[in-house]
Chains A and B, each alone.
Chain A
Amino acid sequence: MNRRNIYYMPRIKWVMTLLFVIFLLPSSSWAQEARPVAEDPEAEERLIALTEDLRCLVCQNETIAESRADFSNDMRREIREQIQANKTDAEIIEFLVERYGDFVLYDPPFKPTTFLLWFGPLILFLLGLGTLTVYLRQRRTLVEEEKPLTEAERKQAEALLNENKGKDV
């Protein structure tokens, strides 16, 4: 029994090592070859600038520029073709908004339905400012209220003042 164990142990080690190496080896060859850069670098730059502000609807926290989803591939193809057809950026964005709605835009448009979005922070800021002002005013009136010291308070103050007498204050 003992001998068998001794015999098997190194074998398991070898098998594990071999497995480990097998898992490591091919992964580098699985990587795809880099796709060729588009023929027209200027158009590509415009494409990237445009798609960086557009949302991929399938993977909603990615832009169309960075997403590898099929949807974004299609969108990039569509936009590339429209750039080649000499469409302006505004026209291309309008094309997409007509089909997918404002949701494709990372930069929300300024219109009645988005007023709350645009003015919300300002409204909250003003509310906070108002609350702060009211609070400070109330506090000031509390401080300003004149009240003569009582006899006990006067004595306490005197004692405190005397404590420091003779010291360099």
Chain B
Amino acid sequence: MTRYLLPLVVFLIMVGFLFAGLGLNPRQVPSPLIDKPAPVFQLQQLHDPEKILSSEDNLGKVWLLNVWASWCVACRDEHPLLVQLANAGIVPVYGLNYKDERSTALQWLKNFGDPYAVSVVDPEGRVGIDYGVYGVPETYVIDKKGIIRHKQIGPVTVKSMEETILPLVNELQSQI
């Protein structure tokens, strides 16, 4: 009996491993920055280069940091959702304009709407490296103490918004 059962069991174990392993998306590399303090930045604002925004200015509130660029096609997909989120006023979205030209970035916001409380510019992608950015768009959920609690790689979708980001924001906002 075991003679026939054993190969079957081995086969089923392999199927289990393959099913789980092949279901993973290799593009979603887990960020080591989750539950770590968000890297501090002081960057020029997109709309007014004279003004500087520091990430520390946002301590005490839950906020989203959305990495975007006018050259990024997938950013257009998620943009209406961000505009909707901003209009709902649930959580402020800050933009990190990543490796972009100021004029095209401003034009892009004019065309598609500006959901950002403030957008800051990172023309050389240095703050991007600090945040472990490798695929724009990326969105970080940062809590009141300035800790990164979630990283969304790739465009925000209705599903990820409703199932992950909004419940998390809700939970974080209720914390003191």
Which residues of A does B touch, CB under 8 Å?
57-58, 60, 70-71, 74-75, 78, 97-103
Contact = CB atoms under 8 A, between A and B. Distances in A.
28 contacts: A57-B29, A57-B134, A57-B135, A58-B134, A58-B135, A60-B27, A71-B134, A74-B125, A74-B129, A78-B126, A78-B129, A97-B32, A98-B32, A98-B33, A99-B32, A99-B33, A99-B129, A99-B131, A99-B132, A100-B32, A100-B134, A101-B29, A101-B30, A101-B31, A101-B32, A101-B132, A103-B29, A103-B30
Given A99-B130, A100-B134, 13 more contacts: A57-B134, A60-B27, A74-B124, A78-B129, A98-B33, A99-B129, A100-B32, A100-B132, A101-B29, A101-B30, A101-B32, A101-B132, A103-B29
A65 B19 CA distance: 33
Interface in B126-157: 126, 128-132, 134-135
Interface-centre pick from A57, A60, A75 (highest chain B CB count, 10 A): A57
Interface of B is mostly: loop
Nearest to B34: A101
Interface string B37-81: 000000000000000000000000000000000000000000000
A65 to B, nearest CB: 17
A100 B134 CA distance: 9
A71 to B, nearest CB: 5
Interface in B96-122: 99
Nearest to A98: B32
Contacts of B21: none
Contacts of B89: none
B125 A100 contact: no
A125 to B, nearest CB: 16
Contacts of B32: 97-102
B26 interface: yes
Contacts of A102: 32
Contacts of A101: 29-32, 132
Nearest to A57: B134
Contacts of A60: 26-27
Contacts of A97: 32
Interface string B4-39: 000000000000000000000011011111000000
A57 B136 CA distance: 12
Nearest to B135: A58
Nearest to B30: A101
Nearest to B125: A74
Contacts of A103: 29-30
Contacts of B126: 78
B61 to A, nearest CB: 25
A103 B24 CA distance: 14
B134 to A, nearest CB: 4
A71 B132 CA distance: 11
A57 B124 CA distance: 18
Nearest to A70: B99
